[in-house]
Chain A
Amino acid sequence: EVQLLESGGGLVQPGGSLRLSCAAAGFTFNNYAMSWVRQAPGKGLEWVSAFSGSGGITYYADSVRGRFTISSDNSKDTLFLQMNSLRAEDTAVYYCAKAGTGATTRYFDLWGRGTLVTVSS
């Protein structure tokens, strides 16, 4: 079955760190760009970061650049998001999303169920 499964969310204090994981199944993981997209409570979708598959090129939203790092382990078909210096405004459900075609992020044709990150003291 084609699916994405996120994990690693939880409650963290401001200034703390958290590492999210996204396990992929049912497709050739390193053939596709992968992204993280987040949604704050009651708010809209916000693209966070992308990893361009086998090319290893990374992209970040201005709001997280310098604090978050996206990476992957192709041997385990898993995408990661290392989040440092967390702020209250990073509180959101974080979705993992697969690009619909190759190494570009033109659109997302497969989404995980999301993992909730809460930044609060």
Chain B
Amino acid sequence: QSALTQPASVSGSPGQSITISCTGTSSDVGGYNYVSWYQQHPGKAPKLLIYDVSNRPSGVSNRFSGSKSANTASLTISGLQAEDEADYYCSSYTSSSTRQVFGGGTKLTVL
């Protein structure tokens, strides 16, 4: 099962907004509203940011939002803050026998 496609890196200045894309196929991203996003700081475990395309768990800032169009999902972070500098991963349920697939990850740099 191929990984979902994410840009290797994105950057932005404090206060700006950035968007990270996550492209899959009709067997995963496009076929189900089961895309999730995770934030990972160096040496730490991943943290759930968004589930089922656009839902935020309690405790996650509303600066994080998710959306989907066809086979591409997106994570938008508004009002960038220094602590947002981290790696971000998308994931999707898939109809293949493996059931779950991750994107390759995107490193966010806050300038």
Contact = CB atoms under 8 A, between A and B. Distances in A.
B36 to A, nearest CB: 4
Contact of A59 (B3, B34, B91, B98): B98
Interface string B71-99: 00000000000000001010101000111
B87 to A, nearest CB: 8
Contact of A46 (B47, B87, B102): B102
Contacts of A112: 45
B34 A62 contact: no
Contacts of A35: 100
Size bracket, chain B contacts: 20 to 34
A67 to B, nearest CB: 15
Interface string A43-76: 0111100100000000111100000000000000
Nearest to A110: B48
Contacts of A113: 45
Interface in B48-67: 48, 51-52, 57
Given A45-B38, A45-B102, A47-B100, A100 B89 contact: no
B51 A109 contact: yes
B47 A105 contact: no
Contacts, number: 70
Interface string A95-121: 100001000111111011110000000
Among B40, B98, B100, B102, residue most surrounded by chain A Cβ atoms (within 10 Å) = B100
B36 A108 contact: yes
A45 B100 CA distance: 11
Contact of A106 (B47, B52, B87, B101): B52
Contact of B1 (A61, A106, A107, A108): A61
Contacts of A46: 3, 102
B100 A44 contact: no
Nearest to B87: A44
A69 B91 CA distance: 22
A56 B38 CA distance: 27
Given A106-B34, A106-B36, A108-B48, 5 more contacts: A35-B100, A60-B97, A61-B98, A107-B34, A108-B46
